[in-house]
Amino acid sequence: MDKPFTNVYLIGPMGSGKTSIGQRLAKMMGLEFLDNDQELEKQTGASVGLIFDLEGEEGFRKRETAMLKKLVARQNILLATGGGTVVREENRELLRDSGLVVYLRTSVGQQLRRLSHDKSRPLLQSANREEKLARLAEERNPLYEQLADLTFPARNRSLDAASRALYKAIQSYRIVDAES
């Protein structure tokens, strides 16, 4: 197998299920679950929103990369990345070189439904959420596709059903990859 497989990284837009599916999937796979944004908040004592307010997106992205470097150096983790992690080439390389990258693909409509009550995400503080999510999808979806070893459609199914289906997809990927 060409690629190290002790870590699994979930990428995709906000509202795709990276954290909620990731927590369940990590248990199934016997991996430690980590969320890059949550780890950053623990380290700084500040919310992602506050970091955005004080340092802007660029300041946040620098902190995000520093945290990502620490986390990908660990073994046997399942990491939920932030939706914008892929915008920096350095982050894409860190993920690509150190584990299996799984893209949780979702539609803007699904995101709107899942994030309808969310007030915490800085990039959603917009009068027109649908327009903002569509712009982000246009910019980021090609990066997710390019980076992913495995693309998983995060359809409208229960978290448990989605987690089980993703677990099976990863196991199938491992078997096919091992035979290559």
Who has greater pLDDT, 152 or 175? Answer: 152
Q: At what angle do helices 159-179 and 18-29 cross, to 10 degrees?
A: 60
Cα separations in angstroms, 43 against 6, 40, 46, 47, 85: 24, 5, 8, 10, 18
| Whether the predicted pLDDT of 113 surpasses 90 | no
Per-position DSSP letters for 64-121, written without gaps between them: HHHHHHHHHTSSSEEEEPPTTGGGSHHHHHHHHTTSEEEEEE--HHHHHHHTTT----
The least confident of 66-75, 133-142, 170-179 is 170-179
Residues of the chain with pLDDT > 70, as a percent, come to: 85
Residue in the block written with tokens 């994030």? 115
Q: Class assignment of domain 8-179?
A: alpha beta
pLDDT digits (tens, 9 = 90+) for 24-80: 999 999 999 999 999 999 999 999 889 988 999 899 999 999 999 999 999 999 999
Cα separations in angstroms, 20 against 17, 45, 130: 5, 22, 22
Domain chopping of the chain, boundaries: 8-179
pLDDT band per the 50, 70, 90 thresholds, residue 4: very low
| Phi, psi (deg, nearest 5) at residue 48 | -55, -40
